[in-house]
Amino acid sequence: MFVKMNSIEKVREMDCFGCFGFSFAIKPKKVLRSSRVIGNNTSQEMLLDDDVDYDDAFYNGDMTDTGNGDKCGFQSPRKRSEEILMHLMQHGLICREHPVKETHIVVRSEDENGNKTVNEYIRERWIGAGSYGKVVLYRSHLDGKHYAIKAFHKSYLLKIRVAPSETAMTDVLREVSIMKVLSHPNIVNLVEVIDDPTTDHFYMVLEYVEGNCVEGADSPCGLGEITARKYLRDVISGLMYLHAHNIVHGDIKPDNLLVTASGTVKIGDFSVSQVFEDDNDELRRSPGTPVFTAPECCLGLIYHGKAADTWAVGVTLYFLVLGKYPFLGETLQDTYDKIVNNPLLLPDEMNPLLKNLLEGLLCKDPRQRMTLENAAEHAWVIGEEGPIPQFLCWCKRKRLLAVMPDGTETSTVT
């Protein structure tokens, strides 16, 4: 039996299938590779099925890669990410003034009211589920602040294969390593990592952000241009910061854009992000959410992660403004087919500046696609607010410190 659902629910249900690595040629007739879990003709009913055997689904043969990079000696970006992050942390090359707290003892108990506790944190309520674990709202009895804590079972993570020689634990540890080097007002802050080697529990303590961009956007009229512009400016600022630090997010979408009580957007969920050396952002595995996948990723080719992130920004803006997705089919294959082949349709009455911006961001040719830098300078983005403020991050401030001949330090930062 088929279940009717609105667009955001359908996309959320499709989310878990984004890492299967399906490949499509122009005007595809079938999936180029098949999977025991999904099969060649994915039905909407299957996309709605929560009872997937994830131990087998995340890695099944060669399904995790979208291209043939091994044949041309292409090194796994995942492995490179780990090496690069290790080098950055060993040499203190992190963009944080204050390091993430690391705790190696877990004390699980209850307070006088019967609420479960983890160390200083008192459980209040369940927030949601992530890729591999749950997210719970806790309050610290030390500072009284709320925190969103991602909770994992290490034994479960080690069972899930995401690549021939890697498990979900690799993904989580890479996410932690990436967040340890980041500090930006439009990036969710990692506060503490709790990992007791004597227990099966692993916790990421994150700043708590009240809402996300999905709320209020899934309607026929979306959020409206004013709010969408405000959100987009924050997303561009945060994503430009990531790209400047050679990090590709890999899963930009409204669900991963959190909104504070004051209306500031923060990018979260770095579970599929990658780190690169220099400007080499080539990827061949596309593990993000299908409806936000760039056309070049659907074709099974080696692609550039930054351009794919930019496409996802365009899909996100389209959704925020119109309350729907530009390319969404009834099945996974149909969705990828539409992304690759269907033209972008925009309302005739749309603001011409906004239409021009969306056409630039959602250009199917990544070589012609608008860059984030150009988007930041676009007339619609600037609006009445003016240019997006330049953020001088901590590592850049350190580089701007000049040592005078007499040994005194002076700063060129204003």
Which residues does the annotation place in the binding site for ATP? 150
Annotated binding site, which residues?
A: 150
CA 51 to chain CA mean position, Å: 24
Catalytic residue among 15, 251, 269, 337: 251
**Is 251 annotated in the active site?**
yes
The neighbour count for residue 4, using CB atoms within 10 Å, is: 7
Nearest to 203 by CA among 130, 275, 153: 153
The neighbour count for residue 264, using CB atoms within 10 Å, is: 15
Nearest to 313 by CA among 228, 387, 392: 228
Is the Cβ–Cβ distance between 199 and 348 less than 8 Å?
no
Q: What are phi and psi of 275, to 5 degrees?
A: -120, 145
> What would the DSSP string read from start to end of 231-250?
HHHHHHHHHHHHHHTTEE-S
d(CA 244, CA 166): 28
The full 3-state SS of 56-98, as one line of letters, equals HHCCCCCCCCCCCHHHHCCCCHHHHHHHHHHHHHHCCCCCCCC
Q: Rg of the chain over CA atoms, in angstroms? A: 22
Burial class for 27, CB neighbours closer than 10 Å (0-12, 13-18, 19+): exposed
Residue burial 322-356, b: 16+ Cβ < 10 Å; e: rest? bbbbbbbbebbbbbbbbbbeeeeebeeeeeeebbb
From residue 396, give the alpha-carbon distance in Å to each of 84, 99, 183, 273: 18, 16, 12, 22
d(CA 230, CA 386): 11
Helix spans in 168-258 (H): 168-180, 225-244
d(CA 17, CA 37): 10
Nearest to 245 by CA among 288, 282, 267, 275: 275
Is the Cβ–Cβ distance between 85 and 181 less than 8 Å?
yes
Burial class for 370, CB neighbours closer than 10 Å (0-12, 13-18, 19+): buried
Please give the positions annotated as active site: 251
